[in-house]
Amino acid sequence: KRHLISAADLTRDDAILILDTAEEMARVADRPIKKLPTLRGRTVVNLFFEDSTRTRISFEAAAKRLSADVINFSAKGSSVSKGESLKDTALTLEAMGADAVVIRHHASGAPHRLANSGWIGGSVVNAGDGTHEHPTQALLDAFTMRRHLAGAADGGPVHHRGPGDGTGRDLEGRRVTIVGDVLHSRVARSNVHLLGTLGAHVTLVAPPTLLPIGIENWPCEVSYDLDAVLAKSDAVMMLRVQRERMNAAFFPTEREYSRRYGLDAARMAALPEHAIVMHPGPMNRGMEIAAEVADSVRSTIVEQVSNGVSVRMAVMYLLLGGAAPPAELPAAATA
């Protein structure tokens, strides 16, 4: 494949290859010299039309660890603010020789448009488009779940197990509960697709006003009662309430929202002993997740950020340079 636009485009084999490659990349991160020469001479452009902390920095770190040249473009402060179009911005990047464009855009479908326009010749990676998809977030979430939950027999606590079992079945049957503002969440959509492909069972929990039209066609279950699903969850993923995308009429009061859909210490205690607590960030501490939960030993929130670098290295390696099988990577490292 040349682009990564949607988690829905990934076959099970694609997803497993990315996750296994990311495990190899994580080993590189553990070495004193964290760089591979794989993408030396290639140029990666981070094209961000919307704010980001984690995704932009981790794509930059990933490209640099693969020895690529990185150009960071933020719409703020660029000629986009003078009205320049996506097409003319893309043609400008193409003229500068971009081998890959990592794009975050407020418009759902912008990465697809870029990939299929003919404006650029390189690979396009979706770093989050509107309320549509955020495939590398779903991949780093699956990577994190696999590290904690892979191989756990039903009810068996397995923490920090490390790489997956290599069979591709290691999230099969795991139960993942995704809670909150599903309506505006590209993270939820990408996770539902990817986790379904990997054989996990996903339950979405949200107020009815924060679920998208057509949710009955998504490959997952829906519940309005968080307390009813916690005890059978292997992972619970809290979503940020996206007030900036929201009409006030959609939203109960913050207090009411926290009371019904927030994860506090009492609710965390209802989870099975081995279950993990996730959040893609940025968090609204005290609203969808209590600070003591976010900072607890069951929280993988900071680890998710670290894993994002390995996963994004794997994606760029496979899209741009990955001729060698992942197992050969450490031997190829000379930088």
Considering only residues 52-71, where is the footprint of ligand CP by CB under 6 A? 52-55
Least separation in angstroms between residue 136's CB and ligand CP is 9
Question: Are 329 and 25 contacting, i.e. CB atoms less than 8 angstroms apart?
Answer: yes
Considering only residues 72-131, where is the footprint of ligand CP by CB under 6 A? 128
The encoded tokens of residue 232 equal: 């059978």
Instruction: Give the three-state DSSP class for 32.
Output: coil
What is the spatial distance between Cα 147 and Cα 23, in angstroms, rounded to a whole number? 10
Q: How many Cα atoms are found within 13 Å in the side-chain-facing hemisphere of 241?
A: 23
Q: Which is nearer to ligand CP, 24 or 60 (CB)?
A: 60
Was 203 annotated as part of a binding site?
no
Least separation in angstroms between residue 174's CB and ligand CP is 21
Q: Which stretch binds ligand CP (CB under 6 A): 90-98, 164-172, 193-201, 276-284?
A: 276-284
Instruction: Give the three-state DSSP class for 279.
Output: coil
Considering only residues 2-31, where is the footprint of ligand CP by CB under 6 A? none
What is the spatial distance between Cα 239 and Cα 82, in angstroms, rounded to a whole number? 34
Which residue is at the shortest CB distance from ligand CP? 55
Q: Which stretch binds ligand CP (CB under 6 A): 75-83, 142-150, 153-161, 279-287?
A: 279-287
Residue 177 CB neighbours (<10 A)? 25
Q: What is the largest CA-CA distance in the chain?
A: 57
- Say which DSSP state 42 is in: -
Position among 111, 122, 135, 280 found at the interface with ligand CP (CB under 6 A): 280
Was 161 annotated as part of a binding site?
no
Q: Is 282 in the site for ligand CP (CB under 6 A)?
A: yes
Helix axes 54-65, 135-149, angle to 10 degrees: 80
Q: Which is nearer to ligand CP, 177 or 185 (CB)?
A: 185
Was 1 annotated as part of a binding site?
no
Q: Which residues are annotated as a binding site?
A: 54-55, 82, 104, 134, 137, 186, 240, 281-282
Residues lying near ligand CP in the complex (CB under 6 A) are found at 52-55, 128, 137, 280-282
